[in-house]
Amino acid sequence: MSDDTFRLRVESEIASLDANAWDACASVPASHPDSTSFYNPFVSHAFLSALEESGSACAATGWLPQHLVLEGEEGEILGVCPAYLKSHSQGEYVFDHGWAEALERAGGRYYPKLQVSVPFTPATGPRLLVGSGPQAETIRAALAGGLVALAKLRKVSSVHATFLTEADAGALEAERFLPRTDQQFHWRNQDYADFETFLGALASRKRKQIRRERREALENGVTIHWLTGADLTEEVWDAFYGFYIETGTRKWGRPYLTRAFYSLIGERMSEHILLVMAKRAGRWIAGAINFIGSDTLYGRHWGAVEHHPFLHFEVCYHQAIDFAIAHGLSTVEAGAQGEHKLARGYMPVITRSAHYIADPQFRSAVAHYLERERRYVADAGAELSELGPFRQQVADEQADEP
């Protein structure tokens, strides 16, 4: 697809694209933490290429890369979009299995579909990667239109863009993508000096509950360690992968990520990774992986080979808050779902996705469903906000934030 000023093409592997050009579109800085540029670790070339090269997100696992690339007159890359041709709906965290069943019962074909996302990663971030130059909106609109063109070229039933920024959602809706909302729980830093200051913003009963959780999690000789950079040795990754496999097998049946993935991200982006690891009797027993953005700590998954009361809450939620306060981060995103996060200071936040449905009748049915779903998500978020752990004045101030 092309016109007089640009050309759109599709790449079947991110390794064929220059890392610096990709990262310039994603606004990834050359040197973190000194740079003031925006940095979202999940749309970096390092992260996405690790997924592909490790065999985690590839044709064999049902994630065939179809990355959209917009080039200027001289062949320079102006914008990119991570996209995948999918033969299933696993690893997405925005659920459309019911849509697939409905279309197939009606005699249609739902798969393959086009997925615009970061595989296995329910974290909001840019998907139409255009940098911050003067042509950003034009390039963003061109990528959005390019996704519709690619859907027609590949003859897919639909395009699904998930965990979107507002800017990307708006550009896609202009191309007749249907808006969808969901809910996560995020922690916001109100310039807390330390964890105790944060606890001071909570209702008395919630303060006592969290102090008890933190105390009991460390009984039986458990210690907590923050590992990043050079601390992330292959021995540490072996231990963490064991946690991931043990927990992932119980929760999902087949864990998505390979062992090689962890070695690759440890090699390419170790300064952007925080492992919160628990040790007892001289061995690692549990851990959670987090990724460090410009202003956000992104909690992803956790695992354990020993189970102790409240250790999950300590490793995944309380330690993440500790780290964010210590490093001046404004937000902790603790992954998908989980109303249990509310009692620990993580408040409901709306997430966005957008969906292009090719068949007119099916599109109409999905549009009606999404309209009802958006009302439900809004009502549920308002109700949960009222149940938050903060003293009322603090809760009101947080509710006013975008």
Angstrom CA distances, 229 to 38, 268, 273, stand at 20, 10, 7
Determine the average pLDDT of the residues in 123-144.
93
DSSP state of 202: B
What whole-number distance in Å separates Cα of residue 316 and Cα of residue 326?
Answer: 16
What whole-number distance in Å separates Cα of residue 292 and Cα of residue 275?
Answer: 11
Q: Can you read off the two tokens belonging to residue 130?
A: 């255009």
Tell me what the pLDDT averaged over the chain comes to. 93
Coil, strand or helix at 184: strand
Asked whether 147 and 10 are in contact (CB, 8 A), the reply is: no
Distance of CA 42 to the CA centre of its chain: 7
DSSP-assigned letters across all residues of 33-54: TT--S---GGGSHHHHHHHHHT
More confident residue, 331 or 336: 331
More confident residue, 308 or 248: 308
Looking up tokens 């090719």, which residue turns up? 358
Which pLDDT does position 52 carry in this prediction?
98
Q: Is the pTM of this model over 0.85?
A: yes
Residue 229 sits at φ, ψ, to 5 deg, of 55, -125
Residue type for 369, please? Y
Residues 6+ apart with CB under 8 A from 108: 157, 359, 362
Residue type for 192, please? Y
Q: What is the pLDDT of residues 67-104, one digit of tens each?
A: 999 999 889 999 999 999 999 999 999 999 999 999 99
* Positive/negative CA dihedral, 103, 106, 111, 113: negative
Closest by alpha carbon to 318, among 279, 276, 352?
Answer: 276
Query: Using 50, 70 and 90 to split pLDDT, how confident is the model at 358?
Result: very high
Which pLDDT does position 175 carry in this prediction?
98
Give the H or E element holding residue 181: strand 178-188
What whole-number distance in Å separates Cα of residue 318 and Cα of residue 264?
Answer: 28
Closest by alpha carbon to 80, among 166, 34, 17, 36?
Answer: 17
Residue positions counted in the chain: 402
pLDDT of residue 273 exceeding 90 = yes
Q: What is the pLDDT of residues 208-263, one digit of tens each?
A: 999 999 999 999 999 999 999 999 999 999 999 999 998 877 766 678 999 999 99
Determine the average pLDDT of the residues in 369-395.
89
Q: Can you read off the two tokens belonging to residue 335?
A: 């992954």
Coil, strand or helix at 55: coil
| Percent share of the chain, pLDDT over 70 | 93
What whole-number distance in Å separates Cα of residue 211 and Cα of residue 199?
Answer: 9
